[in-house]
Chain A
Amino acid sequence: MSPLTIQRPSRRRELRRAAPFVLPFLLLFVVVYLVPTGYSVVQSFFAVKRSGLGLGGAETVFAGLGNYVRVFQDGDFIASVGRVTFIGVIQVPVMLGIALVLALLIDSSVSTGRKFFRVAYFVPYGLPGVIAALVWSFLYAPSLSPITGFFASIGVDVSFVTDGALPFSIANILTWAWTGYNTILIFAALQAVPAETMEAAAIDGCSGWKAALLIKVPLIRPALLLTLVFSVIGTFQLYNEPVTMKSVAPNLPSTYTPIMAALRSLSGNDFNYAAAQSVVLGALICVVSVLVFRASARRVD
């Protein structure tokens, strides 16, 4: 009884002191994140009902899981999820592999010009995604591309925008744009590896690549995990690159990625269905993220 009565006022005082620091974030978080998300979830359980030509306007009625049934029967949406999964599976490991190697190189004490490389790798990330996608579009456009032009001049027919090539072309833009960002994240973690540990390893005869792979990499596992989860989430939310590339690749469908599919429903004035698609995508990302965390955490044990 007595400890409680003593604690209460102090906790309240603590809260009062913390409030000015926490409230601005909390307010923004609620207003721009929780409320719209909640609104979407609510919307996804409704549908509009019209009659005849629809001129009389629409009435919103409760639809239960109707929109969700539609989502899981929507071949275009399911195909879009399959596409981003495929892109993620081929792109994320390649990108993180390169990022890890680059970070280890910058971190290794022998490398010269590490300041230069640290900035150089990061530069593509500084470029707005749409601009990067636009530049790559020009490099991919069949009639404008200098690369296609070069191959044509030696008699080889190459196209970066066929249905089969598109996932790889997009994966290439992603890798180009995001490898540097991940390199910096991993490099920052490498900086935190205690020098004594490495010294001890060197004394025990473990150095160079062996030390890097056997000692540094396990120590920075949390950072690697973070970049992995971020990358997986990012791939599921793919939007800028395919939309920008559509102008040079008209064969790229308007429902190429889940977000593109949801936006198409939105433009079609099908708000409730767009909300259901967004909620399904969000839930899917949550589940995948948790699975990735779980799987990696188990491996650490």
Chain B
Amino acid sequence: MLNRKARLTAAAVVAATGIALTGCAGDTGASTGGASTGGPAQITFWGWAAGYDKSVALWNESHPDIQVKYETITNGGAGGYDKMLAAAKAGTAPCLAQIGYETFSSFLAAGLLQDVSQYVKPQHAEFPEWVWGNVGVDGAAYGVPVDTAPMGMFYRSDLFTAAKIAVPKTWEEFKTAAAAVKAADPKARIMNLPTDPYLYAGFAWQGGAPWFGVNGDAWTVSLDSAANSTVAGYWQGLFDQDLVTSYPAFDAALFSAWNSGEVWAEVGPVWSASLIRDNAAKSAGKWAVAPMPRWGTDDSVGNSGGSATAVMKGCANPKEATEFAMWMSTDDKSVSNLIESAAILPASTSGLANAALDAPESYYGGQAIYQVFRSESAKVNSNWRWGPVMSTTAAALGDGLGKVPTKSATFQDALSGAQTDTVSALEAQGFSVSK
């Protein structure tokens, strides 16, 4: 607290709304200009994922007439999106921006993106329909998908084998297995409660319980739908019966529980592979990956993460920008680089065929785990849509879910709270909401 630091913090807040006047007015021309000058087209590109810089360098070498200028910014959720919003407000937005699917609708609804459907049409078959649904509405596309994050089940194969517990294939079996794990080792639990809003979204996604939809010219919000209650009730049930741990998401305590064998499994997106590998090094070789448990006979999977290269409004060379974005997501050399540097699961069909995904992973006992995700990515539920005020929705849901472990709220309370906050945020910002 106190004056100097606190005043700086406050000034940052005040200044953030006033960035237009104080700082980055310099490169307006750089991002949008270049079309009429006759020289090579200039495209600026903001992103943060590892390896993007190298893919850009590969492109620039082979495409002298379209030069991409890549700038690394802070991770979107950690301030990168705020920077983009502020830049767009100030008229200094880049041509291309890395935007996660969960935030894509927010940018779209803020009117910050350009419709590039005509440029991506020829390569429509490169991406599954559910992926296209994440970068536009009503068949229009405002960017090019890069990667996806279908979910799978990471589990300690050594412990499951030793306790003679079969790897669960359905959520019903998962619950039985959860009780069996607790019976085998009273201190152990099958999984940690998914209280991170975006991780939890993956479960709702799989369960055919979308949070948002489009009804004509209005948004629908359905966090409190019956389908959502079913998914929420399942996790609340596991928690109430003390069959799961309830550490904060991504907390050191959870990592040590993975390491020590206190938590036996994690149902999570593809990027959990590196999360577990990097934070539970002591249990190397003991983990394996299986498909995510299913709801009954419904063979669909959830997704939690993935991002696209969006084309922002004001970009003077949308055709060239889209051409680069498409190349980055589909070119063999670029995709190989992205798999190697950022461990992404490519969204494109040609990218998914990349041989790098067949490599055995020593941490996972030599299993070629990305083969599992490759086949699962085709089964992702296609009725999911992210909403236009996800930052508000996620904050409200996160606040609610954070109270579940302390028993001061339930999953259902969290969803109801997020429903209320989301609808009021939408109305306050002038969107049409269909009841």
Contacts and interface: CB of A to CB of B under 8 A. Distances in A.
Interface stretch (B149-157, B230-238, B343-351, B423-431): B423-431
B253 A141 contact: yes
Nearest to A181: B2
A114 B174 CA distance: 65
Contacts of A240: 5, 9
B290 to A, nearest CB: 28
A52 B432 contact: yes
Contacts of A55: 108-109, 111, 137
A199 interface: no
Contacts of B217: 51-53
A131 interface: no
A250 B404 CA distance: 9
Interface stretch (A187-195, A214-222, A227-235): A227-235
A235 B1 contact: yes
B247 A233 contact: no
A291 to B, nearest CB: 17
A254 B408 CA distance: 16
Contacts of A54: 108-111, 388, 429-431
B9 to A, nearest CB: 5
Interface stretch (B59-67, B125-133, B366-374, B392-400): B392-400
B121 interface: no
27 contacts: A33-B11, A36-B15, A36-B18, A37-B18, A40-B18, A50-B109, A52-B431, A53-B137, A54-B430, A58-B430, A163-B406, A163-B408, A178-B1, A178-B2, A181-B2, A233-B6, A233-B7, A234-B1, A238-B6, A247-B251, A250-B401, A251-B402, A253-B399, A266-B13, A269-B106, A270-B392, A278-B10
Interface string A244-279: 000111111111000100111011111101110010
When A and B form their complex, which 3 residue pairs have the shortest distance between CB atoms, in order from nearest? Answer: A57-B111, A234-B1, A250-B402
A55 B391 CA distance: 18
Contacts of A281: 10
A39 interface: yes
Contacts of B111: 50, 54-58
B: contact size bracket: 35 or more
B196 to A, nearest CB: 9
Nearest to A253: B399
Given A54-B110, A57-B112, A267-B81, 4 more contacts: A53-B217, A58-B111, A250-B248, A253-B402
B214 interface: yes
A255 B10 CA distance: 15
Nearest to B216: A52
A123 interface: no
Contacts of A253: 399, 402
Contact of A35 (B21, B250, B406): B21
A234 B6 contact: yes
Interface-centre pick from A47, A178, A263 (highest chain B CB count, 10 A): A263
Contacts of A250: 195, 248-249, 398, 401-403, 405
A86 B432 CA distance: 39
Contacts of B81: 267
B25 interface: no
Contacts of A252: 402
A233 B298 CA distance: 57
Nearest to A274: B17
A234 B3 contact: yes
A111 interface: no
Contact of A270 (B20, B403, B425): B425
Contacts of A181: 2
A141 B256 CA distance: 14
Contacts of A144: 252-253
B82 interface: yes
A249 B82 CA distance: 24
A183 interface: no
Interface in B223-276: 247-253, 256
Contact of B429 (A48, A177, A241): A48
Interface in B265-313: 313
Interface of B: 1-3, 5-7, 9-11, 13-18, 20-22, 81-82, 85, 89, 106, 108-112, 137, 195, 214, 217-219, 247-253, 256, 313, 388-389, 391-392, 395-396, 398-399, 401-403, 405-406, 408, 425, 428-432
Contact of A248 (B13, B251, B396, B408): B251
A46 B401 CA distance: 33
Nearest to A238: B1
A266 B428 contact: no
A37 B14 contact: yes
Interface-centre pick from A35, A55, A230, A271 (highest chain B CB count, 10 A): A55
B432 to A, nearest CB: 5
Nearest to A44: B17
Contacts of A249: 248, 402
Interface string A63-90: 0000000100000000000000000000
A177 B5 CA distance: 12
A239 B5 CA distance: 10
Interface string A114-129: 0000000000000001
A266 B391 CA distance: 10
A247 B313 CA distance: 35
A210 interface: no
A249 B195 CA distance: 12
Nearest to A130: B5
A267 B82 contact: yes
Contacts of A172: none
A287 B432 CA distance: 39
B399 A230 contact: no
A197 interface: no
A247 B219 CA distance: 32
Contacts of A233: 2-3, 6-7
A273 B430 contact: no
B13 A259 contact: yes
Nearest to B142: A55
B5 to A, nearest CB: 6
Contact of B388 (A33, A37, A53): A53
A53 B399 contact: no
A32 interface: yes
Interface-centre pick from B6, B251, B388 (highest chain A CB count, 10 A): B6
